[in-house]
């Protein structure tokens, strides 16, 4: 994304990608694009694929033992939709357009070190098993464990961190969507989620204990647990298909106090990791690419570093707002831990007493009651629905 925006501004750049092209274009990741992301892509001629094949979503569905309701967020808040377009398809589009515009990508080029030459105004990236690359600036878009982030934190940049104490089994199935909308199911055995990707592929999530081995979850077990938590006996069956991928995701979040300094600037997961509970990660990355491209244009084309000096101030308030909503969403979806029930996380908290009949303690009952109070407020309060809609689709 950033490479395309820089080329669009006449700025020469090279992308170092540690994996090969087949791997990069085949990785199934996020699929929800907020209205702002769609606008940025459209304005820069990068939206042909998503406009042709993306699906507009304006509602989401919540299920619990108290029934279900659909929230039409397209008619609340700012009235903005999501566009569902699998991230790997967007990545294919962006790579193809970047190459068509004359950009250079070096696949299989792993960056090992970033070193600045303060006197010469240059920065060098050492590439494992390949030739070094030098330039005026380096943009670290290489993820949470990448060289860009490591180089910045080595200078003393601090990180604010939070572990949500929750893990998900993420399942990608070759099965048509079973619901018209994104589905969030609250269950005493743990959260379950249904997210359509295409007409033939659906993403599912199952809350699971920390340390779960995906190999322990057979296809039969996955579909049985989804049926239980999505309450198919009450609301209708799921449409099954082969499981294409399964992995465990630990919900953790962090934010660097500054996403860059000097000649090294970060975007995406390199600048901060956000839990997937509100589908903000890819959209924050697009926002940061937009802001960083503008700042680099000022520095390189006009000798004006004001944009780079303001990059943190422009990014961080929006990043923290996204984190606040993601944290709130996690509290809504994940009830208190109950180690006596299979499929739940071990969690944290202190019970002042335990009911021998149910195995659930006072703190767990209190936390579960709060969870359902949040859900009931969302169902009945237009003010709450407007808050949800504005934050769910906004950056």
End-to-end CA distance of the chain: 17
Q: What is the pLDDT of residue 162?
A: 95
> Annotated catalytic residue: which of 280, 311, 323, 334?
280
What whole-number distance in Å separates Cα of residue 105 and Cα of residue 270? 19
> Annotated catalytic residue: which of 98, 137, 311, 392?
392
Q: What percent of the chain has pLDDT over 70?
A: 93
| Among candidate residues 106, 105, 114, the one with its CA nearest the CA of residue 149 | 114
| Among candidate residues 185, 210, 201, 227, the one with its CA nearest the CA of residue 64 | 185
The tokens for 232 are 């198919």
Parts of the chain with a pLDDT under 50 = 338-358
Domains of the chain, with CATH numbers? Answer: 2-162+252-330 (3.50.50.60)
Taken in order 179, 73, 53, 172, is the CA torsion positive or negative?
negative
Q: What is the pLDDT of residue 213?
A: 98
Q: Is 205 a catalytic residue?
A: no
| Among candidate residues 368, 350, 349, 348, the one with its CA nearest the CA of residue 358 | 368
What whole-number distance in Å separates Cα of residue 72 and Cα of residue 378? 11
Q: What percent of the chain has pLDDT over 90?
A: 84
> Annotated catalytic residue: which of 57, 82, 187, 246?
57
Q: Is 57 a catalytic residue?
A: yes
Helix then strand then coil, % of the chain, to nearest 5: 40, 25, 35
Q: Cβ neighbours of residue 231 under 8 Å, at least 6 residues apart? A: 63, 65, 185, 187
Q: Is 372 a catalytic residue?
A: no
Helix (H) or strand (E) holding 291: helix 281-302
> Annotated catalytic residue: which of 86, 177, 259, 276?
276
- Count Cβ atoms within 10 A of the Cβ of residue 53 and give its class: 0-12 exposed, 13-18 middle, 19 or more buried: middle
Q: What is the pLDDT of residue 359?
A: 55
Q: What is the pLDDT of residue 17?
A: 96
Q: What is the pLDDT of residue 354?
A: 46
* Contact criterion met (CB below 8 Å) for 47 and 137: no
> Annotated catalytic residue: which of 73, 184, 204, 311?
184
Q: Cβ neighbours of residue 155 under 8 Å, at least 6 residues apart? A: 261
* Contact criterion met (CB below 8 Å) for 149 and 270: yes
What whole-number distance in Å separates Cα of residue 203 and Cα of residue 196? 6
Q: Where are the alpha helices (DSSP H) in 102-245?
A: 147-153, 219-229, 232-235
How far is residue 297 from each of residues 13, 252, 285, 289, 382, measured CA to CA in Å? 12, 33, 18, 12, 43
Q: Is 184 a catalytic residue?
A: yes
């Amino acid at each position: 994304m950033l490479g395309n925006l820089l080329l669009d501004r006449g700025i020469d750049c090279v992308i170092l990608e540690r994996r090969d092209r087949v791997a990069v274009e085949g990785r199934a990741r996020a699929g929800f694009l907020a209205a702002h992301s769609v606008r940025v892509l459209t304005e820069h001629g990068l939206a042909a694929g998503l406009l042709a094949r993306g699906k507009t979503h304006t509602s989401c569905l919540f299920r619990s033992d108290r029934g279900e309701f659909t929230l039409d967020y397209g008619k609340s808040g700012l009235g903005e939709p999501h566009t569902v377009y699998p991230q790997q398809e967007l990545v294919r589009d962006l790579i193809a357009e970047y190459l068509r515009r004359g950009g250079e990508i070096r696949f299989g080029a792993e960056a090992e070190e970033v070193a600045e030459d303060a006197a010469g105004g240059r920065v060098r990236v050492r590439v494992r098993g390949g030739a070094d690359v030098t330039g005026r600036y380096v943009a670290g878009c290489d993820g949470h464990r990448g060289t860009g982030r490591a180089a910045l934190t080595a200078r003393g940049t601090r990180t604010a961190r939070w572990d949500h104490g929750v893990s998900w089994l993420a399942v990608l199935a070759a099965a048509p969507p079973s619901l018209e909308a994104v589905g969030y199911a609250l269950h005493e055995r743990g959260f379950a989620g249904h997210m359509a990707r295409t007409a033939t592929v659906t993403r599912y999530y199952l809350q699971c204990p920390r340390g779960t081995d995906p190999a322990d979850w057979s296809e039969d077990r996955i579909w049985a647990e989804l049926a239980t938590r999505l309450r198919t006996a009450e609301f209708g069956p799921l449409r099954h298909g082969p499981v294409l991928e399964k992995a465990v995701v630990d919900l953790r979040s962090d934010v660097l106090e500054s996403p860059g300094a000097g000649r090294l600037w970060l975007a995406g997961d390199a600048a901060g990791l956000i839990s997937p509970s509100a589908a903000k990660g890819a959209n924050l990355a697009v926002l940061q690419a937009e802001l960083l491209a503008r700042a680099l244009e000022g520095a390189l084309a006009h000798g004006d570093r004001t944009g780079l000096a303001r990059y943190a101030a422009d990014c961080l308030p929006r990043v923290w707002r996204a984190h606040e909503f993601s944290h709130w969403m996690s509290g809504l979806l994940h009830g208190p831990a109950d180690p006596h029930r299979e499929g739940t996380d071990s969690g944290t908290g202190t019970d002042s007493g335990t009911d021998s009949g149910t195995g659930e303690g006072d703190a767990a009952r209190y936390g579960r009651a709060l969870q359902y109070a949040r859900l009931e407020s969302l169902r009945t309060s237009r003010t709450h629905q407007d808050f949800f809609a504005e934050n769910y689709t906004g950056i």
